[in-house]
Amino acid sequence: MNQLAPADPLCPLDDSAHPQPERAVDSPVDYEYEDPAYRVFIDSLSYLPPEDIEVVRAAYRFGDEAHQGQKRLSGEPYITHPLAVAGALAEWRMDAQAIVAALLHDVMEDTAVGKAQITQRFGKPVADLVDGLSKLDKIESQSYQEAQAENFRKMLMAMARDLRIVLIKLADRRHNLQTMAPLRPDKRRRIARETLEIYAPVANRLGLNNIFRQLQDLSFEHIYPTRFRVLSKAVKAVRGNHRELLSKILDGIHEKLAEVHIEAGVFGREKSLYSIYRKMAEKHLSFSQVLDIYGFRIVVKDIDTCYITLGALHSRFKPVPGKFKDYIAIPKVNGYQSLHSTLIGPYGTPIEIQIRTQAMHHLAEEGIASHWLYKDSEESGANLQNKMHTWLQSLLELQSVIGNSSEFLEHVKVDLYSDEVYVFTPKGKILALPHGATVIDFAYAVHTDIGHRCVAARIDHELIPLSAELTNGDQVEIITAPYANPNPAWLGYVKTSRARSRIRQFLRGVQMDGASSLGEKMLHQELQALGVKPEEVPAAVWERVIHESGGKNRRDLYSNVGMRRSLAAVVAHRLADYREAPQHPAKAAEPLLIRGTEGMAIQLASCCQPIPGDPIIGLLRKDQGLRIHTHACPEVRKSRSTEPQNWIHVEWEPDPGQLFDVRIKVTARNVLGMLGRIAIRLAELGVNIDYVNKDRKEPGLLTDIHFLIQVSGRAHLASLMRSLRHITDVVRIMREQESS
């Protein structure tokens, strides 16, 4: 049975408190004069047209009636919570639809009101916003972590449709943290940790700096209340002790700016308690060793003045080498722009300064909310919204190829926590990527086709491997080949959700193709054993079996068989059920013919590296496709008796028409030029060497040289081994396998 979890942790859900659907939602009570908080809220909506304010009044009455009888653990009426959330949105000057959705954001979870009622009363856009904010029905078998991951996944999907959802959600989370005192300590810590791990990084990614800092400090207070109190007291003490020093620095900045005729607003800035604590923890510092608790923010009229101001202050206070960052020329991923520099102030005290324009300041503090809040930030806010939509779309693509919500959440955290590196295309375009991003991430950031076809890369004109991590200022050139394809190993070192989703999507398509081909062969083999020809099975029977397997067409059915989600024998018997008696005499199934590595569904086992001519057998496991082993492989000896149902009879096609990897070991005397002579002979035989490794031995003694080469089959291997034996000083040649 599904049950709804209360949206607000301070309001335990009580079915007896639910309002009945037939109750009127228009209340005769004059809210205007009964509740001071409501009056303040309505007064804050003066920027909206009168008709919109009336809609908000109606939404408040509707929500109050719906939550009638519900109270928070503090004893307050439940409506105080949605009212506070809506008030936060009014501070951002959000539109009426968003404010109405904030007032109603819990009614679908905690009351009997459904989406249809909200749609009828306030319109579909509002109903969609409320629905996007509502949690999923919690299945009893889900763990708390699984339920939270799934809820976050749903919220991201809703955010991709409408960014107002995340603003409501973050305001909701902030108010819950501000009013969590009545909750049990363990529950407070759990909610606070979830906020630090997910919601605060989301706020940071969206450029919502004010709410980002508030979420961090509130979470810190609930997780480590004693540390919070001690650190808060220490910061207050420093604030008093350093008042004279800070005043001296402020006077020096004002004097220098006046000297060069620059009009600017200068503000002191105190680090948040959580950022101080995190710096102490990460760098193992005591509080007295954290010197940059205070900084200064300088707001000027335009970009040119930002750089003039920087030069003026560098002439007054000496800059610290390596402590300058230009986020104006190269903005952060979340749109943040400022000049950052650390200067040496009076008594050797380091001072951090930030220089920006008014529009940059608005965007830095309120992020995507500045689009609604400030006219001077409309253009930059709209650009940030476009960037955020692009990011959210990449997450949607990732979730479409990752079925597990917990795994999806872990991948999203990589995007949220990473600092950025800034790299250049050959044409000078700047790309911002997460710290630790590789050449593969860069290729997919340029274009999906570039990522799919990349085979090598150059950084500053020097060839580097695709797994190389990028650093600030790298100029990256991708080398492509028309027939190259993504490698599954890339998933082990890509960082961005965009690259990961594109690679997974491609590999899933390749896997489907290979699995479909393999499944078709396996199913036809089983039908043959039953004396049934596939073309004789009526179309209606095919449709029924496909539907029962959960597929849409024969390709889906074949893929399920190829990936062993459905057993070939079981499917074959269902298809053969159309007849009363066998129309053809049953006979032993013929072996499955393979050419080698066919897509991702058929792979040659790396432990024994079978080649044409070797007796082979196939191991079929669910979701892994078919792995081909030699009969002599230790893996076959170990598991054939324990899982006989997973092994199937396979044989090589007469002419596979491709080359196969094989390892050989050449034992020879360690004399000058020995390796070169062997390599030349292999080249003369037209054999490609993929890898070579030579054991270290004293000159004149026997040494082993290990080769990974490509051959067409067992006969080809025997021929080249005979040729190598004729080389002087070669003592022994043998084929190698991985140790079991």
Which of 134, 43, 56, 37 has its CA nearest to residue 95?
56
How far apart are the C-alpha atoms of 487 and 499, rounded to whole Å? 12
Which of 396, 332, 326, 379 has its CA nearest to residue 356?
326
Q: Which residues contact 641 (CB under 8 A, 6 or more apart)?
A: none
Instruction: Give the domain CATH number at 142.
Output: 1.10.3210.10
How far apart are the C-alpha atoms of 601 and 542, rounded to whole Å? 23
pLDDT tens figures, 162-193 = 778 888 999 999 999 999 988 899 999 989 98
Average pLDDT in the 705-718 region?
A: 87
Distances in Å between the alpha carbon of 552 and those of 269, 403, 508, 535, 576?
61, 19, 17, 19, 20
Q: Could you tell me if 342 and 422 lie in one domain? A: no
* Domain of residue 321, residue span: 229-380
Average pLDDT in the 663-676 region?
A: 88
> Is residue 201 assigned to a domain?
no
How far apart are the C-alpha atoms of 721 and 735, rounded to whole Å? 9
User: What are residue 651's DSSP bridge partners?
Assistant: 593
Distances in Å between the alpha carbon of 12 and those of 9, 182, 346, 563, 603?
7, 12, 55, 46, 54
Q: Could you tell me if 514 and 487 lie in one domain? A: no
Q: Could you tell me if 643 and 680 lie in one domain? A: no
How far apart are the C-alpha atoms of 556 and 546, rounded to whole Å? 8
Which of 647, 703, 637, 712 has its CA nearest to residue 675?
703
pLDDT tens figures, 262-321 = 888 888 877 788 888 888 888 888 877 776 667 888 999 999 999 999 998 988 888 888
Count of helices and strands (H, E) across the chain: 30, 19
Instruction: Give the domain CATH number at 675.
Output: 3.30.70.260
Q: Could you tell me if 252 and 366 lie in one domain? A: yes
Amino acid at 673: G
Query: Among residues 627, 652, 677, which one ends one of the domains?
Result: 652
Q: Which residues contact 447 (CB under 8 A, 6 or more apart)?
A: none
pLDDT tens figures, 542-555 = 887 777 776 777 77
pLDDT tens figures, 186-205 = 999 989 988 888 888 888 87
Amino acid at 261: H
pLDDT tens figures, 305-323 = 999 999 989 888 888 887 8
Judge residue 195's burial from the number of C-beta atoms within 10 Å of its C-beta, 0-12 exposed, 13-18 middle, 19 or more buried.
buried
The 3-class secondary structure across 416-428, one letter per residue, is: HHCCEEEEECCCC
Q: Quick one: pLDDT band at residue 582, thresholds 50, 70, 90? A: very low
Average pLDDT in the 88-117 region?
A: 89
Q: Count the domains in the chain.
A: 5
| 726 phi and psi angles, rounded to 5 deg | -80, -10
**Helical spans, DSSP H, in 112-208:** 115-122, 124-133, 144-161, 164-178, 185-194, 200-205
The 3-class secondary structure across 537-581, one letter per residue, is: CCHHHHHHHHHHCCCCCHHHHHHHHHCCCCCHHHHHHHHHCCCCC
Q: Could you tell me if 533 and 571 lie in one domain? A: yes
How far apart are the C-alpha atoms of 409 and 386, rounded to whole Å? 23
- The whole-number pLDDT of residue 218 equals 94
- The whole-number pLDDT of residue 6 equals 40
- For the ranges 128-142, 285-299, 326-340, 408-422, the maximum mean pLDDT occurs at 326-340
Q: Quick one: pLDDT band at residue 20, thresholds 50, 70, 90? A: very low
> Is residue 206 assigned to a domain?
no
How far apart are the C-alpha atoms of 79 and 82, rounded to whole Å? 6
First to last CA, the chain: 49
What is the sign, positive or negative, of the torsion defined by CA atoms of 660, 661, 666, 671? positive
Phi-psi bin for 176: left (phi > 0), alpha (psi -120 to 50), beta? alpha
Q: Could you tell me if 472 and 514 lie in one domain? A: no
What is the sign, positive or negative, of the torsion defined by CA atoms of 72, 96, 40, 32? negative
Q: Could you tell me if 43 and 171 lie in one domain? A: yes
Percent of the chain with pLDDT over 70: 76
> Is residue 705 assigned to a domain?
yes
Amino acid at 578: Y
- Tokens of residue 516, six digits: 């479909």
Q: Quick one: pLDDT band at residue 27, thresholds 50, 70, 90? A: very low
Amino acid at 718: A
Task: Inform me whether the pLDDT recorded for 56 exceeds 90.
Answer: yes
Buried b / exposed e along 420-458 (16+ C-beta atoms within 10 A) = bbbbbeeeeeebbbbebbbbbbbbbbeebeebbbbeebe
Q: At what angle do helices 405-417 and 144-161 cross, to 10 degrees?
A: 60
Q: Could you tell me if 22 and 161 lie in one domain? A: yes
Amino acid at 338: S
User: What are residue 267's DSSP bridge partners?
Assistant: 297
Q: Could you tell me if 557 and 630 lie in one domain? A: yes
Instruction: Give the domain CATH number at 315.
Output: 3.30.460.10
> Is residue 239 assigned to a domain?
yes
Neighbours of 266 (CB within 10 A): 15
Task: Inform me whether the pLDDT recorded for 34 exceeds 70.
Answer: no
The 3-class secondary structure across 280-349, one letter per residue, is: HHHHCCCHHHCCCCEEEEEEECCHHHHHHHHHHHHHHCEEEEEEEEECCCCCCCCCCCCEEEEEECHHHC
Task: Inform me whether the pLDDT recorded for 395 exceeds 70.
Answer: no
> Is residue 391 assigned to a domain?
no
> Is residue 224 assigned to a domain?
no
Query: Among residues 652, 685, 707, which one ends one of the domains?
Result: 652
Q: Supply the residues annotated as catalytic.
A: 109-110
pTM score: 0.57
pLDDT tens figures, 518-532 = 777 777 777 777 777
> Is residue 390 assigned to a domain?
no
Query: Among residues 477, 495, 513, which one ends one of the domains?
Result: 495
Q: Could you tell me if 110 and 92 lie in one domain? A: yes
Q: Could you tell me if 557 and 623 lie in one domain? A: yes
pLDDT tens figures, 425-437 = 888 787 878 778 8
> Is residue 372 assigned to a domain?
yes
Average pLDDT in the 202-217 region?
A: 85
How far apart are the C-alpha atoms of 48 and 170, rounded to whole Å? 22
Q: Could you tell me if 459 and 372 lie in one domain? A: no
How far apart are the C-alpha atoms of 343 and 171, rounded to whole Å? 36
Query: Are the C-beta atoms of residues 466 and 439 closer than 8 Å to each other?
Result: yes
